[in-house]
Chains A and B, each alone.
Chain A
Amino acid sequence: RKEVEQDPGPFNVPEGATVAFNCTYSNSASQSFFWYRQDCRKEPKLLMSVYSSGNEDGRFTAQLNRASQYISLLIRDSKLSDSATYLCVVNSGFTGGFKTIFGAGTRLFVKA
């Protein structure tokens, strides 16, 4: 089982739709969580951190469920420019080191 699992998609949605991605992680000692966005043939860029209480940034909402060990990303009112791959990232910190695990990503296509 992969340490961080995401549905690879692709998700094909029309403009204006709401779309949700889920991500599960296996290490219950994981400390911090992020969503990154990666455009085709580009580097990943931080979209948002994910906090225990949930957090929102404009049309994007991230949620964390530690008990079930999953993270979600909700995109409301999808735009054509939201088309990208969304990467779930989990950090596990421990004495003397850390481990950052990337999910393989979920592809989103937003159509006009």
Chain B
Amino acid sequence: NAGVTQTPKFQVLKTGQSMTLQCAQDMNHNSMYWYRQDPGMGLRLIYYSASEGTTDKGEVPNGYNVSRLNKREFSLRLESAAPSQTSVYFCASSQDLENGLRGNSPLHFGNGTRLTVT
């Protein structure tokens, strides 16, 4: 049981290049998320997907796109990378609709992707 798997672990991009971060979970969770973590700041939500076929913007969606390919997979795409997108990116999943409220269950995170944009 791998949990949440994300690739790659490290990536260096030049400004303007594009890339896709991949994420897959094997826990049959409905909800999946992409966060970024920067020094001195809490994790900030980029996009989330409450269920297969739906995606919604989080706190910092600009410069990113996502695809919920199926229940297991949720990818994050940077179309034209900028130095401000240098960060550590975490994918996460959760069992939702606990007590009838979405978002009350804990998150399970992948190992993270360290992205540097020069």
Chain A interface residues (CB < 8 Å from chain B): 2, 4, 8, 31-32, 34, 41-46, 49, 87, 89, 91-93, 97-105
Contact = CB atoms under 8 A, between A and B. Distances in A.
Given A42-B111, A44-B90, A49 B106 contact: yes
Nearest to A3: B42
Contact of A34 (B42, B44, B106): B106
Interface of B: 35, 40-45, 56, 90, 101-104, 106-112
Contacts of B101: 31, 93, 98
A42 B112 contact: yes
Interface secondary structure of A, over-half rule = strand
A43 B109 contact: yes
Contacts, number: 57
Nearest to A5: B42
B104 A91 contact: yes
A54 to B, nearest CB: 18
Contacts of A44: 43, 90, 107, 109
Nearest to B33: A100
A43 B35 CA distance: 11
Nearest to B98: A32
Given A2-B42, A91-B104, A97-B103, 10 more contacts: A31-B104, A34-B106, A44-B90, A44-B109, A45-B109, A87-B43, A93-B101, A98-B101, A98-B103, A101-B42
B109 A87 contact: no
Given A103-B42, A104-B40, A104-B41, A97 B111 contact: no
